[in-house]
Chain A
Amino acid sequence: MKYEDFKENEYLESYVKELRENGVNIAVAKLDDLINWGRSNSVWPLTFATSCCGIEFMSLGAARYDFARFGWEVTRNSPRQADVVFCCGTIVHKMAPVLKRLYDQMAEPKYVMAFGSCAIGGGPFKKSYHTVMGVDKIIPVDVYIPGCPPRPDAMIYGMMQLARKIKMQEFFSLPKQPMVDDRHCGLDPQTPEKEPGVVTEGIAGQARNDDSKKGGDDASN
């Protein structure tokens, strides 16, 4: 049997049609969508804050902004249980290896949000001898949230961008995290359509990179 034949779903559609005609309520969807729906609405952040942005992160957790509405409130103190690092605050030379180790300890799939101008690119401490000019010098970043510090509203917006990104991922291919490109999400729609089954590893990897860049731009606007 050829690989392409696995993509042939006509028999499924005919089953569904038959069942519906006989009065059975049935919906067909991808398991990925279901899993990502759950994953994107229950992201567990690591309580990681080095400075000022941490206070706004606390505001976010408190009554008014209340990120429990989005299912993000289970803050974990151990990186092994966390899904996302909110990198709140400046990262300095002495902290850099510590952050790297925290990131390495996290289980896949894992995400990083650069919170505030220090984490994005050094911020007001650009001229310092001891500041790392952005978290992305040490670990890959999924979403950038500008501000000094960002308002909790901006943080919520950034989190929603991450949720969007998680929804586009293919859970069963993790941890390689290739793109699901059937909706052109994160890809330029102008590029010629490719046959679904022939997306090579390289292109999938590329698509993922494009996507992370796109996500970053979205958030910074």
Chain B
Amino acid sequence: MQVINDLLARLPFATIEQHDKEYTVIVPKEKLRETAILLRGLRVKPAMTGIEPLAPAVTDTEARVPATDTEAFATATSGFEFDYLTDIVGMDYGEELGVIYFLSPSRYPSYGLILKTSTADREKPEIDSIFDLWCAAALYEREVYDFFGIVFTGNPDMRRLFLRQDWNGYPLRKDYDANPALNPVPTNNEALADMENLPTTSIDINGERLKEHTKLFETEDYVVNFGPQHPATHGVLHLRVSLDGETIKKVDPNFGYIHRGIEKMSEAYTYPQILHLTDRLDYLSGTINCHATCLCVEKGLELEVPERAHYIRTIIDELTRIASHLLGWGCMAMDMGSITAFVYGMRDREKIMDIFEETCGGRLMANYSVIGGVMQDIHPNFQKRVKDFIPYMRKMLKEYHLLFTGNPIARGRMDGIGYLSKEHAISLGATGPTGRASGWSNDVRKIEPYAAYRHADFKEMLRTDGLTFDRYIIRLDEVEESLKILEQLIDNIPGGAYAAKTKAIIKLPEGEFRQRVEAARGEFDVYINSRGDKYPYRVKFRSPCMTLVNTLAHIAPGTKVADLIMLGGSLDYVVPCIDR
């Protein structure tokens, strides 16, 4: 696109490559912040993220570009701002440590930009922070720091994200010492002082690295611990909430209580072995995660997958989505105290579990997709069962609406609470039903149709209000759309093989491969960096749920503490997906 080329022409120091709609931009680390500001859009005030901007870097850019020129340029590029930061991936290239930023303009979501930078200093790696440009960046940077030890100068919160603050070493570095004696199983709870002191790094005039600590909460704040063991956190999430009376002042999420190190383990596993770990990330959209990983490996192998396998995978994905939304609906209702709704949701979910059990052999962990197709052909009853399920589910959806949607108590707790604006949803990277409830069109099934979605006619559900009720109702609407997709595909499954033949040992050619799919909670990405071996060099999974918890921390302040449960229920995050 011409505008993007114009934009990139402003970066003389960058190495730029273009593949179709994907641009790769490599910049030296000193120029990273400048590039990021240009890509984010010059009109954006960093204060939009609610955090004070970094003064020096911003004036730097403004000094370089004359004011009038900036204005004209900002008008010309309006709408092409890369306002959606999909993910930040840390890399250990062996000699150097690097960071990869995946960006996309929210209005033209099929375009993508990969921004790369690296540092040769392995002892004290430092890269400028971009936390004030995208709301999502602060947590992603903490994740990279946790795994690689790269300090983002300027980020006011450089705590570890998943591991305890007293953990030794950075586990995703290639030279990490995995000796269990270095990090024994702890016997004491993490010290609160560790959780509350935010180490910040900034560089003073002489180039000296200053390390300071700021306090997370004020001394007189009333802080409530919510989790890690609490049924309404939907997993083992630890929220520290400071209150003013009943009103929430600040929410600080703590992750890592189910961090299993899947990304590091994947580096020692072959590709078919990794597939079994992907189901256990977001277990409610397990088959979709598995599908994404297969697609990514197939992309690298340039493997032609039989059309039959595409259809079967798509149908299984949609069934998973329905099951996940049913559980999300039931749990949200249960959080409000309506146990009946939970029992209804689980009852209908069991019907999908039956279909899975017959065809895949497993209930929750189907592990059905394999590289090249699916594990075995569908059961003879499969089509009949799905066709029976569609009218049944339609009838039940009506019942759900009668039972719960119109209930005055439920409406009283959902209406007008938890507003998330479209701009914030994009900046936070809150994809999936959450973003769509705020009016952000982000359905990957529409943007980059994969598998058999191009053969199905379905609508992308969009709402505009961005309230708790919208996030609730959009899930039920999506169930209806999924039923439509099932209806169109189930009778048209083509014949032929259900899987392509692959070699016994699968070696991916050298390069980087990425696949985006729409999981039940939002965009799930798989990034594989291969060096031509049968093991990947680096695997990164983009968790749609991490941004959702970040969203919670952004929209909760100002609401009542009882609404925190409802907000969490409406965002419907799964914690093992965050922690990986």
Contact = CB atoms under 8 A, between A and B. Distances in A.
A157 to B, nearest CB: 16
Contacts, number: 125
B185 A47 contact: no
A62 B343 contact: yes
B216 to A, nearest CB: 18
A101 B171 contact: no
A117 B189 CA distance: 25
A55 B256 contact: no
B231 A129 contact: no
B163 interface: yes
B235 A51 contact: yes
B147 to A, nearest CB: 11
Contact of B264 (A79, A98, A129): A129
A32 B119 CA distance: 70
Which one of A47, A54, A93, A129 has the highest number of Cβ atoms from chain B below 10 Å of its Cβ? Answer: A129
The secondary structure that dominates the A interface is loop
Which one of A55, A102, A127, A151 has the highest number of Cβ atoms from chain B below 10 Å of its Cβ? Answer: A55
Given A52-B283, A58-B346, A95-B228, A125 B190 contact: no
The secondary structure that dominates the B interface is loop
Contacts of A48: 229
A112 to B, nearest CB: 15
Interface in B466-504: none
A149 B576 CA distance: 14
Given A62-B347, A90-B258, A130-B163, A55 B364 contact: yes
A77 interface: yes
Interface string A18-39: 0000000000000000000000
A124 B283 CA distance: 14
Interface in A140-159: 148-149, 151
Contacts of B135: none
Given A50-B235, A63-B343, A129-B171, A98 B189 contact: yes
A151 B353 CA distance: 11
Contacts of B283: 51-52, 55
B229 A128 contact: no
B178 interface: yes
B230 interface: yes
A49 B277 CA distance: 19
Nearest to B350: A64
B206 interface: no
B520 interface: no
B514 interface: no
Interface in B201-240: 228-231, 235-236
B183 A129 contact: yes
- 5 closest pairs, A vs B, by CB? A62-B346, A52-B283, A128-B261, A51-B576, A63-B347
Given A61-B346, A92-B258, A93-B164, 20 more contacts: A49-B235, A51-B235, A52-B364, A52-B365, A55-B327, A56-B363, A59-B346, A62-B342, A79-B229, A94-B256, A95-B228, A95-B258, A98-B257, A100-B187, A124-B277, A127-B265, A129-B171, A129-B176, A129-B180, A129-B261
14 contacts: A47-B231, A62-B350, A63-B343, A90-B258, A90-B260, A92-B258, A93-B163, A95-B258, A96-B185, A97-B189, A101-B189, A124-B276, A128-B265, A129-B180
